[in-house]
Structure 1
C-alpha cells in the first residue's frame, strides 16, 4: 500500500521565495509561486486573488474613510466662514440702512451746511450747466451760516415735502452707496443771474473772480450758472475823475439782473444814537449822540440797503432794512427798530408805576392799588405777581409804609433814554427821585434804573410790560432842612 503520510520538512527545508504561505485547505506550507498545494492539491491561485482583493478592499475602505474625515473638516470650516460672512454682511446692511437712511443723511447734510464741511458729499446739481465743487458751494454755506433759522426751515421743507419753498433745492436719491444703499442728496437747481453797470470800462467781479469789463454803457454780463446763495458783487471804475467802487453782499436766488452803476448818493440817516450803521452788509460807521449818520457820495445801486444795529449789555438788536432810492439823495431817511417803544409810551408806563408805588408807601393795601385807568400794578409786569421786579417794588414801598421814622414819601420820575433790546424788547432808562419826609428834614435821593420792556400784543390797554428792572444806581443824595 502507498504511504500517504508524508513527513514534514524541517524548518530550514521550508520552501523559499518570499514570505511563507499556508494552504487554506490543509495548512501545509507552500511557496509564493505555488499554484497547487503539494499536500492536498488545493488550487492556491483563487485564494491569492481573494486575499489580494480583500487587501485592496481594506486599503480602499481606509482611503475612503480618511477622505470623508478630511472632507468633513473642510465642510465645517466652509460653513463657519460662510456664517461669519453672513453675520458681517447682515450687520453691515443693518448699520448702512440706518446711516444712509433718508432722515439721517439729511441731518448730516444740514449740519455740514452750517459748518461748511464736505458739501460735495451732500449736494449735486440738477443740470450739467453747473458742476459743483467746494468753491462753487461756498455761497450756500455763507448764507445759511448767517441765517440759521432759514437753514432750519430748509431742513423742515426737505424732510416733509422733499423740496424747498422756493423750489431751489430738492431732496432725493442720486445713485447708490456701495451698490446697495440709496444715495440721498440735496439736488440744486441752478440760477442764471446777470449784472449790469452804467459805464463802459467798469470792471466787474463776482466774489474774487473777474468777469471782465463792461464793453459799452449799460452793458449786461451773465454771471453764469450759480447755486442760490450769498455772493459779493463788485464794480470798479472812474466817475468824474474819482475812483469809485460799488460793492455789496447779495443773496442771489433768481435769474434777475443786478444793477451796480457807478453814481453817488448823499443822505442823512436818522436812528437810535450809538447804533452801528451797515450799508449793503458792511459797517460804515456809528450814529452820533443825536442819532445822525451822514452818507456822503456813496456809490448808489438799485439794491442799496442800509440797516442799524444796537448792542447793549442785554444783547443785540437789528433795525428794519431800508432800501435807498435815487430820490433819497440829499434827504433824511429814518431807520427804525421793530417793536421799539416810543418815548411817550415809555414815559407813561413809568409814571403809572410811580403812581402805584406812591399808593403802597402811603398805606394803601396792595390788592387795592391801581393806576388812573384802574389797572392793577401786577398787570404791568410779565408773569404778574411772580415777576421778581414786581415783588421787589412791593416790598420796598411797604417797608417805607411800615417805617415809623418816615412821615411821608413822594416820588418824581424822569425818562432818560429809550434804546432797542434783543428780540423786539426795549431798554428804558429812567430816574426816580425819592423824597423821604422825616421829622426835622427831608432826605432826598435819586436812583437811575434800566427796565426791559416787552410788547404784549394787547392794544386795548397798553402795549408793553416790564420784564425786568436793574438795581438802582444812586446819582444823588442830599438832605433838606425844613424852614421853622
Structure 2
C-alpha cells in the first residue's frame, strides 16, 4: 500500500513513474518519503482540494435573460431618478406660479389651462378669461402683488392658488381659482344697444337693475363673468341723432354698471399740437393755443381722457383722468375745462422762482450733476464778471417765464425772459434777454416742492432789448 500514489488534485490512482495525472493533467511532484504527520496533512489537503474541485465543477453561469433584466432595471432606475429630479424642479410650486404669471400678463397667451372657476357652472375658456388677463397686463404692480400673495399661500382679491390633479401622475399641478361675478349694464335711453368687449349683447329692456342713478331704467343682464377689465359700449338714438359712449370698467364684484348717456360741453387744454384721446380714440388735435372744445358731446363719468405730444423724435403721453373727476367751471354745470397733467412737468411759478434764485446766486444743488453742470458754471462766471466790473455800481435781475411744455423722461422745456437792471453812475441800463431751450428734470423725490426739480440747462439767451435811462 505504501507504493501506491494518488493525484493530489483529483484523487486518481497513479503509476509510480508518471509525472502528470492522466485524469486531470495535474503535474506531480517527485516521490518523497513523508513522515506519518506529513502523510496525514497530505491526505487532508487532498480531501479539501478534491472537494473544491468538485464544487467548481458544479457552479452554473448567470443566465442571459437574467443579465438583461438586471441591466434594464438598473437603467430604468437611473433614468427615473434623473426624470424625477427634473420634474421636481420644473413642476415645483414656485416655478408653476411663475409660469402662471407669464400667461396672466400676456393677452396673447391662453390662460384657461391655468384656471379653475369658483363656480363649477362657469365654462373656463381663453376667451372668457381675456378680461382677467387685460386687467393684469395693464396693472403689472397688481400682478406682482398677486404672485407674492400666492407664494405665501394667501389670496388676492379672492384669487387663490389651488391644487388640481397632477402633472405626469407624479407632480402636484397648481392653478388659479378665479372668482366669477354677475353684472348688469343700465342706461337712461330705451332705444339703446349694449356691446361688451366687441361682442354685441343686445337691446336694453326696461326693468329694475339696482342702478344708483334713477334715470337708468333700461338695461341688460350679462352672463356669468370672470373678474377683470371690460370695455362696454352703449349706442343710442336720441332725437334722430346717433350717440354712443364707451368706458372701461374693472369689475371685481357683482353689481350694475351705469352707462347713462348725457351730452355736455367741455374744453381740453394742453400742449399746442397735441393729439387728444377719449377712451383711447383719437378725436382731434389741439390748436395753436393748446385748446380743443366740444359741444353736446356724449360723456360718462368714466370717460377716459389723455393727450399725446410730439417732442423732437419722441412721443410722450400725459397722465390719464376720468371726466367725472373734473369740476365744472360754473355753478350751472354747463362747461368744464380739462387739463391733463404730465409726469414731471414743472409749474410756471416754480420754474420762475428757481431760475431767478440761481441767476442771482447760483447753487450747485439746484442743477443736474451739480458743479459739473455747464449752465451752473456759466452762471457762476457771469455772476463773478458783474461783481468784478468796476463800471457797474450795482445790478439786479428778474425772471418771467413765458411757457412751460412737457419733455421726455419727466422733464420740462421752458422759455423765459431775464431782465437785468444795471446802475452805472447816473445811468440806468435795462437789458432783456430771451432764453429758449431751457430744461428742468424732475428728481425721484416724492416731494412736490421746488427741491424736486433741477435745472438741466438754462438754454440759450438772446438780447431782445437794451435801453439806457
TM (norm. structure 2) is: 0.70
Aligned pair count?
A: 393
1:81 paired residue among 72, 79, 87: 72
Corresponding residue of 2:12: none
Deviations 1:411-442 (A, max 9, x none): 664423223456765443335579999xxx99
| Aligned-partner Cα distance in 1 for 2:351–2:180 | 50
Taking the TM superposition and a 5 Å limit, the aligned residue runs for 1:159-170 are: 159-164=151-156, 166-167=157-158, 169-170=159-160
Pairwise CA distance, 1:94: 1.0
Higher helix content, 1 or 2: 1
**How many angstroms does 1:244 deviate by?**
1.4
Once the 2 structures are TM-superposed, how far is the Cα of residue 131 of structure 1 from its aligned partner? Answer: 1.6
Larger displacement relative to structure 2 (387-396 or 343-352):
387-396
**CA–CA distance in 2 between the matches of 1:325 and 1:434?**
43
Distance, in Å, in 1 between the alignment partners of 2:462 and 2:67 is: 93
- Of the structure 1 ranges 398-407 and 88-97, higher mean CA displacement relative to structure 2 is found in 398-407
Q: Is the 8 A contact 1:341 1:418 kept in 2?
A: yes
Q: CA offset at residue 355 of structure 1?
A: 0.5
Give the conservation status (yes or no) of the 8 Å contact 1:268–1:295: yes
Q: Select between 189-198 and 285-294 the one with higher mean Cα deviation.
A: 285-294
1:391 CA displacement: 4.9
Aligned to 2:146: 154
* Two-structure CA RMSD over aligned residues (Å): 4.1
| 175-184 or 109-118: bigger deviation | 109-118
Q: Alpha carbons of 1:158 and 1:269: their partners in 2 closer, same or farther (altered >3 Å)?
A: same
SS state at 2:249 partner: strand
**Distance in 2 (alpha carbons) for counterparts of 1:118 and 1:271:** 40
Alignment of 1:245-324 (within 5 A): 245-310=244-309, 312=311, 316-319=316-319, 321-324=321-324
Say which of 435, 438, 454 aligns to 2:442.
454
Residues 238 and 155 from structure 1, CA distance in 2 versus in 1: closer, same or farther, beyond 3 angstroms?
same
Distance 1:149 1:426, change over 3 A: farther
CA shift, 1:350, in A, is 0.9
Shift of the 197–272 alpha-carbon distance from structure 1 to 2, 3 Å rule, reads: same
| Equivalent residue number for residue 353 of structure 1 | 358
Q: 1:418 aligns with which of 395, 404, 409?
A: 404
Corresponding residue number in structure 1 for 2:167: 177
TM-aligned CA deviation for residue 203 of structure 1: 1.5
The aligned counterpart of 1:372 is: none
Deviates more, 1:208-217 or 1:235-244: 208-217
1:211-250 Cα deviation digits (max 9, x unpaired): 1111337223222222222222112221100111222332
Correspondence for 2:83 among 65, 85, 92: 92
* Range with bigger deviation, 116-125 or 389-398: 389-398
Change over 3 Å in CA distance of 1:108–1:321 after alignment to 2: same
C-alpha distance in 1, partners of 2:382/2:302? Answer: 55
Alpha-carbon separation, structure 2, partners of 1:436 and 1:327: 47
For the residues of structure 1 that align with 2:256 and 2:467, how far apart are their CA atoms?
76
Instruction: Say whether the 8 Å CA contact 2:234–2:259 is kept in structure 1.
Output: yes
Q: Which residue of 2 aligns with 1:333?
A: 337
Question: Residue 134 of structure 1 is aligned with which of 126, 130, 138?
Answer: 126
Report how far residue 180 of structure 1 moved. Answer: 0.9
Distance 1:398 1:351, change over 3 A: closer
Distance 2:219 2:256 in 1: 8
Distance 1:426-1:203 versus aligned 2 partners, 3 A rule: same
Q: Cα offset for 1:307?
A: 3.8
Q: Is residue 457–residue 463 contact of structure 1 (8 Å, CA) maintained in 2?
A: no
Instruction: Give 3-state SS (helix, strand or coil) of 2:72's partner.
Output: helix
1:341–1:467 Cα change, 3 Å: closer
Listed as ranges, the gaps of 5+ residues in structure 1 are 1-60, 358-376
Counterparts in 2 of 1:464 and 1:311: CA distance versus 1, 3 Å: farther
- Per the normalisation by structure 1, the TM-score is 0.68
Structure richer in strand, relative to its length: 2
